[in-house]
C-alpha cells in the first residue's frame, strides 16, 4: 500500500540507502552529517555509510566532545557544529565578476548553476532556524534570490531528536524537540532489542513522491508510540532554559552595568556568530586578477564581534567588547522581534558549546534580569 | 514556484559625465546611465561601486527635479572613495539604489524650514534645498545654517553665496577655525541656531553632519522651542548592502539603510544618547 501524507511507515537500513540514492538520482546534492576533525559537520554524502554511526556529542559550556558509543545509531548525535545555513547561504558567495574595458568596465554573466540540495538530518531547532532565515531573506519587499532559490529547491529530511545535549534549550525556545511543519520527510530512528529502523512520514507532496518509491511497510502502534516518545524524552533531558521574557529583559538592559561583567570574559572571537544557525551578517570583499582587468565581488559571513563591522570614517561605532556583546544578544533576543516578528534564537545551544570561555546565553539573560531587579 | 527577482546586489552601470573638484578632498561626480533617468527623493543614497576597489554608500547631492543625471558629492577618506576620486569622464561607476528614507520636504510645507548642516553633511541636504527652493512659496522663512572646519572647507561655496544673495532665503555660515581674511562667523554651527530668524512654534528642521554636531544641533533647536516631532536627522553607519540584510548598519531595532538614513528625531531620541549602540 502506498503511504499518504502523515501516514507512518517503516524504513530499514536498505530503505535509508535507497532514500539517499533516490535523492541523488533525482539530481539532489545530498548533505548530511559526517565525521570531520572529531566533530559532526554537514557535508555532501554518497550513502548511509558516510553517516556518523555510533557517534554521540557531549556538549557543555565551552566544551564539545564526540564519543563513539558502539551503538548502531546513525543520528545518535544531537547537532552538527554549524547549521544548514552553511549550505543555504554559504560562507563565501561570489556576487559578480566584472571586466575592465577600453573605457570603464562591464559585468560578466557567468554565474554557476548549482544542484538542488537535499538536507538529511535536519533537527527541529534547525528547521526553525531555516524558517527564521526565510524571514530575513524575504521581508518588506526585499528578497535574496540565491537563498530563496536554494531554499525553494531544497528537499528536507527531518530527523527527530530522542536525546538532548546539555547545551540544548529548544523546549524553552519553543522550537522543538518535536519537528513541526516544513519538512518533506520526517524520520525517527528507533534502535534497541535487536531492532534498528526508521519510522518515516511524508510532510509534503514532494516528500510523498520520494517515500512512495522506497521499500516500506506500515508502522505498528508500538513503533509509532516509540517514535512519539522520542521528542518527549529529549525535552525532559533539557535543564537549560531561555527566560520567556528575554526580549523585555534586553529592552530594559541597554544601559546595564552588567555588560562590563560579560566583557571581562568575552574574547570577541565571533565563534558564537559563526555557529549560530540564524546569524546572517555578511561583508563584501573585492579582488582583482594580477593585471587588474578582472574584478570579483564576494560576499562572506561577517560577525558583529569584529571591530571592522561598525567602522565608519572617524572610528568604530562599537569599540568596546561590552557594546559588541550587547549588540549580538540584544539583536538575537529582542530587536529581532521588531525586525522580523520573532526571536532570532532557536535554542540549539551551539553558542554556549563553542564559546571558548563558556558564556551561556541563557545564563546571561538571567544575570541581566537579576541585575535589572537589583538596580 | 515563485519567479525569482533580479539580484539586488548587482549594480547598474553609469558613465561619468563630469568630475568637479569641490575641495582638496571632496569632488562631485555627474553620472548618466544608458537606460534612462534616475528618479530619487531628497535624502536618499546609492551604493556606488568602483571597479575592483569596492562599494560605499553615498548620498545623492543633485536635484530631485532633474532626474536626467545622477549627482554624487564624495569626500575621499578611504581606498574606495579615493579610487572614485581618480575617475575621469567616460569611466564607469556601478550604482545600486536609490535606498533609504527621504527628507520629508512636502510634510514641511506651511512651516518655516531650517536646514542645519556640518561639513560634507551639506551634500545630502542639497537635494532638499533644491526641492524647497522649487516650492519656495509653500514655506514661511527658509534658513540654511552651515558650519565648516575652515573657510577652505566650505562646500558648494558659490551656491551658498548665490543663495545668500536671495531675498527669500537666510544663509548663515560659520567656521571652526579662521584662516586667511575670513570676516564671517567663527564657532560651531549650533551657535547659528540661536541667531537664525525662524518661528520655533512652526518650524521643521533637517539636520545632517557628524553625530556629535547633530546632538548639539538638536539640543539648541529644542532650546529655541522647536518641537522634536519636527526635527529630522540623517544618520551614518557602516553599510555593505543597502537592503537591510548585511546587518552592519543596525542601530537598536533599525537598519539605518532601510529605516533611515533620515529619521524623525522622536523615533530615535532614546537611541541617540546611548553610547556605542
Angle between helices B157-164 and B122-134 (to 10 degrees): 30
Decide if A313 touches B, using CB distance below 8 A.
yes
Rounded Cα gap, residues A49 and A52, in angstroms: 8
* A270-279 average pLDDT score: 98
The pLDDT of residue B2? 52
Contact A119, A156 (CB under 8 A): yes
Whether A22 has a pLDDT exceeding 70, the answer reads: yes
Phi, psi of A112 (to 5 degrees): -80, 150
User: What is the grid cell recorded at A86?
Assistant: 552553511
Q: Is the pTM value of this prediction over 0.90?
A: yes
N residues, chain B: 277
Dump pLDDT digits (tens) for A31-48: 999 999 999 999 999 999
User: Above 70 in pLDDT, residue B3?
Assistant: no
The full set of domains in chain B, from first to last, is 12-99 (2.40.30.10), 106-234 (3.40.50.80)
Burial of B263 (0-12, 13-18, 19+ CB in 10 A): buried
What confidence category does residue B1 fall into, taking pLDDT thresholds of 50, 70 and 90?
very low
pLDDT level of residue A7 (50, 70, 90 thresholds): very high
B91 interfaces chain A, CB cutoff of 8 Å: yes
Residue A83 has a pLDDT of 95
Between positions 51 and 70 of B, the ones with CB within 8 A of A are: 51-55
CB A47, CB A24: distance < 8 Å: no
Nearest CA in chain B to A338: B253
Query: A16 to chain B, minimum CA–CA distance in Å?
Result: 28
Residue B275 in grid coordinates: 553610547
| pLDDT tens digits, one per residue of B73-115 | 999 999 999 999 999 999 999 999 999 999 999 999 999 999 9
Q: What is the pLDDT of residues A336-346, one digit of tens each?
A: 999 999 999 99
Chain B contact set for A113 (CB, 8 A): none
Mean pLDDT of chain B: 95
Using DSSP's 3-state secondary structure scheme, residue B263 falls into: strand
Give Cβ neighbours of residue A223 (< 8 Å, ≥ 6 apart). A8, A10, A190, A197, A199
Of B9, B248, B252, the CB nearest to A95: B9
Q: Test B4 with A286 for CB contact under 8 angstroms.
A: no
Taking a C-beta distance cutoff of 8 angstroms, is the pair B50, B87 a contact? yes
pLDDT in tens, B176-201: 999 888 999 999 999 999 999 999 99
Average pLDDT, chain A: 95
d(CA A320, CA B226) in angstroms, rounded, equals 35
Asked if the C-beta of A58 comes within 8 angstroms of chain B's C-beta atoms, the answer is no
User: Mean per-residue pLDDT for B129-155?
Assistant: 97
Does A323 sit within 8 Å of B276, measured CB to CB?
Answer: yes
Amino acid at each position: 500500500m502506498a503511504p499518504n501524507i502523515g501516514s507512518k511507515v517503516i524504513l530499514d537500513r536498505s530503505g535509508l540507502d535507497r532514500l539517499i540514492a533516490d535523492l541523488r538520482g533525482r539530481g539532489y546534492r545530498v548533505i548530511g552529517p559526517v565525521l570531520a576533525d572529531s566533530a559532526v559537520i554537514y557535508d555532501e554524502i554518497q550513502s548511509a555509510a558516510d553517516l556518523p554511526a555510533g557517534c554521540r556529542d557531549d556538549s557543555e559550556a565551552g566544551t564539545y566532545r564526540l564519543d563513539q558509543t558502539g551503538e548502531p545509531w546513525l543520528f545518535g548525535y544531537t547537532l552538527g557544529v554549524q547549521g544548514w545555513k552553511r549550505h543555504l547561504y554559504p560562507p563565501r558567495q561570489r556576487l559578480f565578476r566584472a571586466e575592465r574595458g577600453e573605457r570603464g568596465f562591464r559585468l560578466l554573466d557567468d554565474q554557476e548553476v548549482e544542484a538542488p540540495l537535499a538536507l538529511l538530518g535536519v533537527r527541529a531547532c534547525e528547521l526553525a532556524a531555516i524558517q527564521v532565515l526565510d524571514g530575513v531573506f524575504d521581508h518588506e519587499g526585499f528578497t535574496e534570490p540565491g537563498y530563496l532559490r536554494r531554499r525553494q529547491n531544497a528537499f528536507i529530511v527531518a530527523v527527530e531528536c530522542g536525546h538532548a545535549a546539555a547545551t540544548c534549550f529548544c523546549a524553552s525556545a519553543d522550537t522543538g524537540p518535536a519537528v513541526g511543519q516544513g519538512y518533506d520527510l520526517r524520520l525517527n530512528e528507533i534502535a534497541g532489542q535487536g531492532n534498528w529502523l526508521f519510522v518515516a512520514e511524508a510532510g509534503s507532496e514532494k516528500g510523498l513522491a520520494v517515500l512512495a518509491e522506497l521499500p516500506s511497510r506500515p508502522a505498528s502502534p508500538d513503533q509509532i508510540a516509540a517514535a512519539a516518545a522520542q521528542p518527549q524524552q529529549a525535552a525532559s533531558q533539557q535543564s537549560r532554559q531561555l527566560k520567556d521574557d528575554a526580549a523585555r529583559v534586553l529592552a530594559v538592559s541597554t544601559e546595564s552595568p552588567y555588560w562590563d561583567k560579560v566583557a571581562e570574559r568575552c574574547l570577541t572571537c565571533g565563534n558564537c556568530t559563526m555557529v549560530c544557525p540564524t546569524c546572517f551578517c555578511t561583508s563584501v570583499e573585492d579582488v582583482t586578477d594580477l593585471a587588474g582587468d578582472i574584478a570579483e565581488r564576494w560576499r562572506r559571513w561577517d560577525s558583529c564581534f569584529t571591530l571592522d563591522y561598525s567602522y565608519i570614517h572617524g572610528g568604530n561605532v562599537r569599540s568596546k567588547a561590552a557594546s559588541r556583546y550587547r549588540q549580538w544578544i540584544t539583536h538575537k533576543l529582542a530587536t529581532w522581534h521588531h525586525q522580523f516578528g520573532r526571536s532570532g534564537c532557536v535554542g540549539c545551544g551551539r553558542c554556549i558549546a563553542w564559546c571558548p570561555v563558556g558564556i551561556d546565553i541563557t545564563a546571561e539573560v538571567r544575570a541581566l534580569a537579576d541585575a535589572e531587579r537589583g538596580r | 514556484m515563485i519567479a525569482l527577482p533580479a539580484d539586488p546586489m548587482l549594480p547598474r552601470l553609469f558613465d561619468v559625465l563630469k568630475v568637479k573638484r569641490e575641495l582638496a578632498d571632496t569632488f562631485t561626480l555627474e553620472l548618466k546611465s544608458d537606460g534612462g533617468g534616475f528618479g530619487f527623493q531628497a535624502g536618499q543614497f546609492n551604493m556606488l561601486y568602483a571597479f575592483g576597489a569596492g562599494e560605499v554608500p553615498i548620498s545623492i547631492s543633485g536635484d530631485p527635479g532633474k532626474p536626467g543625471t545622477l549627482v554624487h558629492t564624495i569626500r575621499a577618506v578611504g581606498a574606495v572613495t579615493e579610487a572614485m576620486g581618480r575617475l575621469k569622464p567616460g569611466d564607469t561607476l556601478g550604482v545600486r539604489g536609490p535606498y533609504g528614507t527621504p527628507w520629508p520636504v512636502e510634510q514641511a510645507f506651511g512651516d518655516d524650514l531650517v536646514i542645519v548642516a556640518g561639513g560634507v553633511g551639506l551634500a545630502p541636504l542639497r537635494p532638499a534645498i533644491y526641492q524647497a527652493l522649487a516650492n519656495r512659496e509653500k514655506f514661511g522663512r527658509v534658513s540654511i545654517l552651515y558650519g565648516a572646519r575652515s573657510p577652505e572647507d566650505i562646500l558648494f561655496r558659490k551656491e551658498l553665496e548665490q543663495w545668500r544673495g536671495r531675498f527669500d532665503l537666510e544663509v548663515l555660515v560659520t567656521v571652526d577655525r579662521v584662516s586667511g581674511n575670513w570676516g564671517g562667523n567663527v564657532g560651531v554651527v549650533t551657535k547659528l541656531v540661536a541667531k537664525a530668524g525662524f518661528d520655533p512654534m512652526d518650524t521643521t528642521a533637517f539636520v545632517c553632519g557628524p553625530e556629535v554636531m547633530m546632538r548639539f544641533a538638536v539640543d539648541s533647536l529644542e532650546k529655541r522651542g522647536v518641537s522634536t516631532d519636527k526635527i529630522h536627522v540623517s544618520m551614518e553607519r557602516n553599510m555593505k548592502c543597502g537592503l537591510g540584510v548585511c546587518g552592519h548598519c543596525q542601530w537598536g531595532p533599525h537598519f539605518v539603510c532601510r529605516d533611515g538614513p533620515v529619521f524623525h528625531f522622536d523615533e530615535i531620541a532614546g537611541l541617540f544618547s546611548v553610547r556605542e549602540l
